[in-house]
Amino acid sequence: MLGVEGFSSGRRYTVKVHSACDREVATAGTRSLAPVRRYRDRAMWLTLIPLLLALVLAGCDPEGEGKGKVKYKPALLPVALTVGPDGVAVEGETSIVTPIGEFSIGAEYSLPPRDGSTIYVLLRDRKKGATGFDSVFKVQTGRDQLTVVVNGTTTIQVKDGQVLIDVTGGAVKRIQFKRVDQANVKEGGDSYWSSIGVKWSQGWDSSLYKPFVLTRWAYDDSTIDKWYGLGFVWFLLRLALTLVLLLVDLVLSSIFLLAQIAYLIFGSTGRNVVWGVVILLAVIGAIRGFLYY
């Protein structure tokens, strides 16, 4: 910028002239901030998009409890146990069945505690070893009442969460698990608190989002001592992701709790209203943020 001084009619005046160089410097300063703002806006949207997606998915009614909705559940679970010369094999969805171990018949042993969504299947082979062995498997039932179908025809009832199948003679080849019609099953007794517990479990099972599911998915410390130190680096990366997702889980789990309470009082309609209001507020906040920036 240049300054020129002069006198006119006894008055002193100064004329300031901005050079092209000054304008370029000022423009360059303004332009230098633009990329920073763009990156900041993109980072904000990258954070909001997964949260909105999680809200939309969690707010859905997968059980189809609303009017005019029907959800089909296959009669058979997508898993089977096959008994052959080489032992017992798991076919299908292997994550549903967990091998517990083999125990001598007559020996004292205790199985891990069982919740309402699992049963134990004991396959007894009296010719195996000196005294015979029980091969024990834990099956995830998803809180459905099950019966056990042997070789496609014989049905065995599950009692007290366990079923014992004798495979000594070699006649048993395939074991499948069939759902029982829930309309004919009386759950939890007639007490008020029992009915509350049953309805709470139904709301839990029918929700796509479960509390802190993202954090549990991200955290994994099984690789700490593997791959000559690279496993520990991978663990640190998973831990950092876990801490980030923990913030999202805290928000979603709080909303899930409110939705569960609404489900107990008003059913699936109340739960959908809670998730709908939250999604609407999130969308409005995202739009306002977009217009502001």
Contact 276, 59 (CB under 8 A): yes
Does residue 154 carry a pLDDT above 60? yes
CA 232 to mean position of chain CA atoms: 25
Tell me the angle at which helices 192-206 and 230-266 cross, rounded to the nearest 10 degrees.
Answer: 130
Helix or strand run (H / E) with residue 112: none
Contact 286, 49 (CB under 8 A): no
Contact 268, 259 (CB under 8 A): no
Predicted confidence band at 160 (pLDDT cuts at 50, 70, 90)?
confident
pLDDT at 42: 55
pLDDT at 68: 40
User: 241 is written with which tokens?
Assistant: 């992701």
Does residue 211 carry a pLDDT above 90? no
Write down the domain spans for the chain. 2-35, 46-69+187-292, 76-184
Distance CA 174, CA 180 (A): 19
CA 203 to mean position of chain CA atoms: 15
Predicted confidence band at 9 (pLDDT cuts at 50, 70, 90)?
low
Task: Write down the pTM of the prediction.
Answer: 0.42
pLDDT at 70: 43
Reading phi first (left if > 0) and then psi (alpha if -120 to 50, else beta), residue 41 is in alpha
What residue type is assigned to position 105 of the chain?
Answer: I
Does residue 74 carry a pLDDT above 90? no
Distance CA 187, CA 25 (A): 77
If one counts every other C-beta atom within 10 angstroms of the C-beta of residue 53, the result is 10
Q: What is the pLDDT of residues 15-71, one digit of tens each?
A: 555 555 555 544 444 455 555 555 555 555 555 555 555 555 545 554 444 444 444
pLDDT at 47: 55
Predicted confidence band at 14 (pLDDT cuts at 50, 70, 90)?
low
> For 92-101, 169-178, 185-194, which range has the lowest pLDDT when averaged over its residues?
185-194
Tell me the angle at which helices 20-58 and 230-266 cross, rounded to the nearest 10 degrees.
Answer: 60
The one-character DSSP state at 159 is B
pLDDT at 63: 46
Q: Which residues pair with 7 in a beta bridge?
A: 12
Distance CA 70, CA 270 (A): 19
Q: What is the pLDDT of residues 122-143, one digit of tens each?
A: 999 888 877 788 999 999 988 7
Q: What are the counts of helices (DSSP H) followed by strands (DSSP E) for the chain? A: 5, 11
Does residue 117 carry a pLDDT above 80? yes
> For 69-73, 108-112, 148-152, 192-196, which range has the lowest pLDDT when averaged over its residues?
69-73
209 backbone dihedrals φ, ψ, rounded to 5°:
-95, 135
- Average pLDDT over the chain, rounded to whole? 76
pLDDT at 19: 53
The vertex-189 CA angle with 183 and 192, nearest 5°, equals 110
Q: What is the pLDDT of residues 244-258, one digit of tens each?
A: 999 999 999 999 999
The vertex-179 CA angle with 174 and 181, nearest 5°, equals 145
